[in-house]
Amino acid sequence: MGGPCEVLVETEHEHEARQVAEAVCAAAARIESKYSRYLPDNIVARINSGMGAPTTVDDETANLLDFAAQVHQLSEGLFDITSGVLRRAWTFDGSGRVPRPEDIAALLPMVGWSKARWVRPTLTLLPGMQIDFGGIAKEYAVDQAAQAAASVSASAVLVNFGGDLAVTRARHGDQAWRVGIEGIDAHEGAAARLVDLSAGALATSGDTYRYIKSGGHRLPHILDPRSGWPVSDAPRTVTVAAPSCTQAGTLSTLAMLKGAGAEAFLESEGVRFWIQRDPAGS
């Protein structure tokens, strides 16, 4: 899930807490095994190894593909689950290794959802193309895990997968969960802001841990699928509150892709959000 994971349960009963933890772990493991791009024998691997042949998918995967297609259209191509092949050129490890322009150009013919043929339940990619649910799957796993927790316990539960989280309900006495948003200088260990959350979810996109440096500039791991290069003028982090973690994660990613227009985009969406940028001139 890309980072430390936790589940908090407001209960005095150890048995109940263990039941919730087991349900959350099972939900996370199921999504990981089904949609991780690193595993060789799941639906993603089967699609990506199709070499131009059509692949018929199950209903859950079809729903994710429908969602990805919708967001691709609404974002005018900024959100694209076929852009994962660009990681062959980019390694966002904090170094100064920038790929050659010709290496990016060689990959761009394999990027573009519009080049895929999606007629539910069958997906056909051009040879060499791949899909990557990395921009959706973790947040979807959070939602699935929160639903699993609610199915075994009426207690208030918070599920947190690597900083993307959801709550099942408010705590005792209608108290909100208090969540810290990490600052852009993560090594300082202090929260940049505290947010009260009684329902729904929070998700964060940013470059705190995944970036490279070039010419004195910090380049985020958020790539524009149309150019293959990091988005310019992107915030350092974007955190969004929404009814579901999937929705929050999608909006935070789209805001990063909007670059200088991140704030205006989220204001137009009417959601609660928190954006951190480097101080002017830094």
Angle between helices 262-269 and 245-257 (to 10 degrees): 150
Whether 156 is covered by a domain: the verdict is no
Is 21 part of a structural domain of the chain? Answer: no
**167 within domain boundaries:** no
Domain membership of residue 212 (yes or no) is yes
- Residue 163 resides in a domain: no
* pLDDT tens profile 208-234: 888 898 888 888 999 999 999 999 999
182 and 235 share one domain: yes
Same domain as 278, residue 189: yes
Question: Would you state the pLDDT for residue 186?
Answer: 59
196 plus 126 within the same structural domain: no
For the chain, the average pLDDT equals 94
**Where in the sequence is the domain holding 276, given as residue range(s)?**
176-282
pLDDT at 208: 83
What's the pLDDT at 126?
A: 96
66 vs 69, 162, 163, 176, 244, CA distance in Å?
5, 25, 26, 33, 17
* Same-domain status, 188 and 124: no
pLDDT of res. 281: 43
Show the beta-strand stretches assigned E in the chain. Answer: 5-9, 55-56, 117-119, 122-124, 157-161, 164-167, 177-182, 191-197, 200-206, 211-214, 217-220, 237-242, 272-276
pLDDT of 282 reads 46
Same domain, 188 and 103: no
Indicate if 194 and 258 belong to the same structural domain: yes
Nearest CA to 211 out of 38, 99, 110, 95 is that of 95
Task: Name the nearest CA neighbour of 239 among 257, 213, 212, 266.
Answer: 266
Q: Does residue 190 sit in the same domain as residue 276?
A: yes
CA gap 168, 21 in Å, rounded:
14
Note down pLDDT in tens along the chain; length 282 residues.
667 899 999 999 999 999 999 999 999 999 999 999 999 999 999 999 999 999 999 999 999 999 999 999 999 999 999 999 999 999 999 899 999 999 999 999 999 999 999 999 999 999 999 999 988 999 999 999 999 999 999 999 999 999 999 999 999 999 999 999 988 875 666 788 999 999 999 999 998 888 898 888 888 999 999 999 999 999 999 999 999 999 999 999 999 999 999 999 999 999 999 999 987 644
Is residue 121 located within the same domain as residue 195? no
Looking at residue 187, its pLDDT comes to 61
Residues 215 and 119 in one domain: no
pLDDT tens for each residue of 73-111: 999 999 999 999 999 999 999 899 999 999 999 999 999
For residue 3, what pLDDT is reported?
Answer: 77
Boundary (domain end) residue, out of 72, 104, 131: 131
Are 275 and 221 found together in one domain? yes
**Is 46 in the same domain as 116?**
yes
- Number of domains composing the chain: 2
Q: Are residues 124 and 199 in the same domain?
A: no
> What type of residue sits at position 211?
Y
CATH code at position 275: 3.10.520.10
- At 19 the pLDDT is 98
Domain end, chosen from 99, 131, 163, is at 131
> Domain boundary at 107, 131, 155, which?
131
